[in-house]
Structures are given as structure tokens and as C-alpha cells.
Amino acid sequence: MLERFWTLGIIDPPTNGEVTISWTDLLAPGEKEKIENASKLADIVQKTSGFYGGEPPFTANELREIVGLDPLPEPKQPPNPNDKVTTDDPLADDAGADGKGGAADSSAQQG
């Protein structure tokens, strides 16, 4: 049947001589079932968290995988308090960019 389709020009013939047919899983849960499963899992987490020292039995990404969602991105690391923080003014010219400022001037400013 497929040969007839590409002979008639309905579909392109296979480039490597092999045909693979795939379709979605007919037994996979739909949106309604995914929501019901997520609700049941949330109940399980709520009821069993006390058994794990207050920690949930599933991570958020494990729950997302079970209901067919993509995992959440990894959280960003907080800044290291030991890293040097520059106090240089990025808008200042290089002459006074050492972070110490210039000498005090007692003259009146002209403006």
C-alpha cells in the first residue's frame, strides 16, 4: 500500500529503503487523566511526608515526569559571599577607577 502511495506521488519514497511508521501511544493518559494523576500524587505526598522526616517522597521533577511534564530548570546558585565585589564606577573614566575616589577639593564648583 505504501509503495502505491509513493508511486502515485502522494508521499515521498523512503531515502534509505526502510519505512518506519510511528503513532502516539493509544494507552497514554490524556489531559484529564494527567490532572487526576497529579491530584492523587499530591494527596500521596501530603499524607506520606511525615514518614520521611518532613521531606516529600517525590521531588518536584519526579512528579512532573510522572504526569508527563518537562522538568523544571535547575535553580541558580546564590552568589558566593567570599567573591570580591568591585566598587569601581563603571561610568567613570580610568583615572579614578581604583575605588578610592579623588582628593578633596575645597574650591567652589563652577557651573
Residue 6 contacts residue 12 (beta carbons within 8 Å): yes
| Chain position carrying cell 564648583 | 109
pLDDT of residue 105: 58
pLDDT of residue 86: 72
pTM: 0.40
Over residues 54-68, the mean pLDDT reads 82
Residue 88 contacts residue 75 (beta carbons within 8 Å): no
Poorest-pLDDT segment among 13-17, 55-59, 85-89, 90-94: 90-94
Name the pLDDT band for 27 (thresholds 50, 70, 90): confident
In Å, how far are 13, 31, 67 from 71, measured between CA atoms? 37, 17, 11
Hey, what's the cell of 91? 561610568
Name the pLDDT band for 48 (thresholds 50, 70, 90): confident
